[in-house]
């Protein structure tokens, strides 16, 4: 894996950590043409479906462990924007279905689990109407970094 992951090279870091995603990543880049898709799009459109397929399959611990180790590395990154990819794009999506979340939490590291719980708490609280058209956003706890 690359030595230093930054927000700018995070998509390449993903493909290095999960080589099975290389062809989907290259296809996504081709689709975007001259534009560069952001990391939330890459993780949301390429990584999340892959992760969900692993979670829906039986007996995938040998594939899930390294994926969640990579997520934990990102969750503990010094750049909060890298952490937000894990919290907002990945953990929030896993919270869409209880069975995905239950299985995923068996593999999550401490910080990823904390982000997952924060996202769940945010979405399960009594929703208040937006003030001035803006929703409250969850705040990531960065004490683990």
The pLDDT tens digits along the chain (145 residues) read 446 899 999 999 999 999 999 999 999 999 999 998 999 999 999 999 999 999 999 878 899 999 999 999 999 999 999 999 999 999 999 999 999 999 999 999 999 999 999 988 887 775 544 444 444 444 455 444 4
Helix and strand totals (H; E) in the chain: 9, 0
The pLDDT tens digits for 92-129 are: 999 999 999 999 999 999 999 999 999 888 877 755 44
Rounded Cα distance between 49 and 118, Å, is 22
CA-to-CA separations, 94 to 36, 45, 105, 139, in angstroms, rounded: 25, 13, 10, 18
pTM, full prediction = 0.81
């Amino acid at each position: 894996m690359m030595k230093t992951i930054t927000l700018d090279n995070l998509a390449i870091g993903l493909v290095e950590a999960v080589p099975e995603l290389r062809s989907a990543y290259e296809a996504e880049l081709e689709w975007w043409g001259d534009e560069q898709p952001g990391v939330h799009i890459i993780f949301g459109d390429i990584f999340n479906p892959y992760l969900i397929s692993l979670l829906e399959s039986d007996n995938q611990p040998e594939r899930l462990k390294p994926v969640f180790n990579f997520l934990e590395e990102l969750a503990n990154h010094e750049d909060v924007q890298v952490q937000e990819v894990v919290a907002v794009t990945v953990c929030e999506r896993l919270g869409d279905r209880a069975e995905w979340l239950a299985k995923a939490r068996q593999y999550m590291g401490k910080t990823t689990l904390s982000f997952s719980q924060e996202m769940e708490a945010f979405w399960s609280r009594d929703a208040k109407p937006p003030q001035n058209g803006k929703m409250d956003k969850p705040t990531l706890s960065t004490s683990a970094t």
